């Protein structure tokens, strides 16, 4: 029942964000500022607090790395096969990337930190770093190639070097690996700030969701949903069971890959010639339905 209450609370906050946008309280400017607080302050604090007490060797194993890469690229390959005959390149490119590009930063790590023990959150933070470095350039490459858009990977990759989430992960792992101590008051303060990451992220996601019901392509959206929140976590379950990783690693990997499509895919679609209405719809539907699928999954692994 605790899991049910937690996920119902997440759904309420998500819909609250949508309601605040519809009422005009969270307009574009206010949502952008709220998003900046979540992205540049709360989430980095959460990542640092989750990792600063452990060395990287304790968190990132060869089995974890191999499993992450296999699940990500296998799902992307399946998405390519499923969506190869979509009626336009803009819709095809969006369908492919949204079938594997997970919201592991805004929703994955905060959800795990709020639900599981610290060891699971620490591994989830490392998963965030590894998967982000792979899925972001892959999504940009697919969108730009299929849509003929002019997108240089260099600036995107250089932008990763300034990413506050990845920087906080690097700092946290460095502190843990070197064995430095963090003063108690600082750790407590960062922990309090990090606890705001999930509600802020959900408000921002809710305020960013838009749906045009007459334009729904049920077949394409259904395929995206099936691949993202059913196939991908199921594949992760199988792969990490075969790899026989420890319980914390298994839990973190499966739940992270069960998160919905990232809101950033809508931004990439707008920049690189994708079908933005279709992208917005898929973000909304996968986010909404993932509240139920995550409940089932967390109940199974918890």
Q: What long-range pairs does 157-162 form, CB within 8 A, spacing at least 24? A: 160/132, 160/133, 160/136
- Does 172 have pLDDT greater than 60? yes
Nearest to 41 by CA among 193, 195, 199: 193
Question: Which of 70-84, 94-108, 126-140 reaches the highest mean pLDDT?
Answer: 70-84
Task: Give the span between the Cα atoms of 272 and 147, in whole angstroms.
Answer: 7
The predicted model scores a pTM of: 0.81
- Which is more confidently placed, 9 or 251? 251
What mean pLDDT is reported for the chain?
84
- Does 176 have pLDDT greater than 60? yes
Greatest pairwise CA separation for the chain in angstroms: 57
Range with the lowest mean pLDDT among 159-163, 225-229, 285-289? 159-163
Q: At 152, which CATH number? A: 1.20.1530.20
Over residues 200-220, the pLDDT tens digits come to 877 877 787 665 555 677 899
> Domain tally for the chain?
1
Q: What is the pLDDT of residue 160?
A: 62
Q: What is the pLDDT of residue 151?
A: 53
Residue-number span of the structural domain to which 9 is assigned: 2-208+216-301
- Mean pLDDT, rounded, for 285-299: 88
- Mean pLDDT, rounded, for 72-89: 93
């Amino acid at each position: 029942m605790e899991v049910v209450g937690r996920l119902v609370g997440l759904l309420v906050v998500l819909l609250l964000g949508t309601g605040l946008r519809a009422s005009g309280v969270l307009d574009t400017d206010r949502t952008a500022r709220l998003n900046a607080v979540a992205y540049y302050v709360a989430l980095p604090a959460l990542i640092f607090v989750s990792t600063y007490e452990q060395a990287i060797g304790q968190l990132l194993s060869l089995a974890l790395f191999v499993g992450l890469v296999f699940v990500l690229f296998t799902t992307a390959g399946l998405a390519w096969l499923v969506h190869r005959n979509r009626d336009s390149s803009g819709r095809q490119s969006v369908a492919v990337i949204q079938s594997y590009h997970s919201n592991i930063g805004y929703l994955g790590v905060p959800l795990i930190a709020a639900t599981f023990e610290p060891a699971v959150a620490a591994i989830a933070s490392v998963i965030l770093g590894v998967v982000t470095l792979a899925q972001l350039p892959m999504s940009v490459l697919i969108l730009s190639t299929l849509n003929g858009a002019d997108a240089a990977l260099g600036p995107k990759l250089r932008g990763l070097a300034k990413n506050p989430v990845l920087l906080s992960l690097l700092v946290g792992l460095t502190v843990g690996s070197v064995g430095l101590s963090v003063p108690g008051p600082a750790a407590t303060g960062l922990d309090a700030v990090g606890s705001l990451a999930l509600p802020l992220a959900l408000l921002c996601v809710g305020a960013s969701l838009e749906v045009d019901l007459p334009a729904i392509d049920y077949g394409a959206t259904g395929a995206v949903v099936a691949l993202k929140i059913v196939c991908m976590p199921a594949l992760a379950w199988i792969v990490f069971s075969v790899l026989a990783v420890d319980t914390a690693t298994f839990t973190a990997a499966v739940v992270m890959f069960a998160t919905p499509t990232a809101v950033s895919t809508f931004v990439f679609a707008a920049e690189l010639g994708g079908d933005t209405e279709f992208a917005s719809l898929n973000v909304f539907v996968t986010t909404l339905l993932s509240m139920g699928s995550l409940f089932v999954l967390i109940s199974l692994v918890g």
